[in-house]
Chains A and B, each alone.
Chain A
Amino acid sequence: MTRIELISAVIVVTRDGDDIAAAHRAYRPALARLGRPLEMIYVVDGPLPRTMQALRALKAAGEPIEILSFATPFGESAALTVGFRHAAGDVVFTLTPEVQIAPDLLPRLLESLDETDLVVARRVFEDPPKRRKFDGAVNALFGTSLQDIRCGVRVMRSEVAKELTIYGNQYRFLPLLAQAQGFAVRELDLPAARGGKGTPRTLGLDASLLLDVVTIYFLLRFVKKPFRFFGGFGFAVLAIGALLTAWLVVARLFFGVPLVDRPALVLTTLMIVLGIQIISVGLIGEIVAFTYAKDIKDYRVDRVVEPEDEPASAARDAAPAA
């Protein structure tokens, strides 16, 4: 890849408990060993007095850090977005306040960025935690093959950081979103930091993750064409309801089957109503998408080769996709 003028690292701090100074002391020398100018951007999500104190002390000691802090917590996605907007480097690391990967291995992460746009560390544990069924299901749904999607240690080209739009809980699935937007994503096996235990898992967390996955799936697949989903579904329900109702009416008229408050009739009538409702929702969704359509770009431009460019070496990414 082309020469790197500046390396940025974005570290989002959401809790006051982590020893941020220790993390900084671990990351800094490893990144410095890459031999390029370095900026470390700490985004503090909300008022975290101890973290702020530690970061201010580091900055006063002359460390190359910038501190961005929210007055009130806006969540990790917002913090990442702000950090990305602020990052001026050609490559951007995202790191976590608790050390997930032995920091000595960060240069290897950068080396493997050569052919791709984003590299996620895949933590290899000494005693592996439970098999990640969850990640398996996510991969099946999105057609990806990432096994440690939620690992917070990643490195990406600046285009990825600048173009990604994430909000809500989407930071957990940043690699999936990047892939959906046409960036090349790969994983690199790296031994997990000593004492790392993987993502803590509770039933509540899993449920909220599941909700996020469903949201993102819809967002990626149907949000611009809701009728593809609601239309087929709605017409099917409507058709089945109408057919069954017709059959019940025929049975009543010609075979004398009584109809008074028959549960079957209630059910089929409900299906008709439900079908109409689903279709309406889909169409309203399409109308909203149409209203918004001039702002949607369905494509991501890798590069534009202008007539004046040198024949062999066309500049990469001459026009950014909107």
Chain B
Amino acid sequence: MPLPPGTALSPRDGHQAIELPDFTGLHLASLAGDVSNPVLAAVVTSLLARAGSRSNAVAFYDDSPFVTY
């Protein structure tokens, strides 16, 4: 069975107590021009465009086409 609600997370359950790497605060505009990974560059470009077009982040319904800006 999947992990039941109320169960404490532990490595045994497939959860790791390890923090994720901190990629926040990086200068994304520089990364957008990095062609060493064109997919990452394209993703960052689209994210920057979105961040620049909205004052507040909101989430849309999954069962609909990807909302782009």
A pairs with B: no
Enumerate chain B interface residues (CB-CB to A < 8 A): none
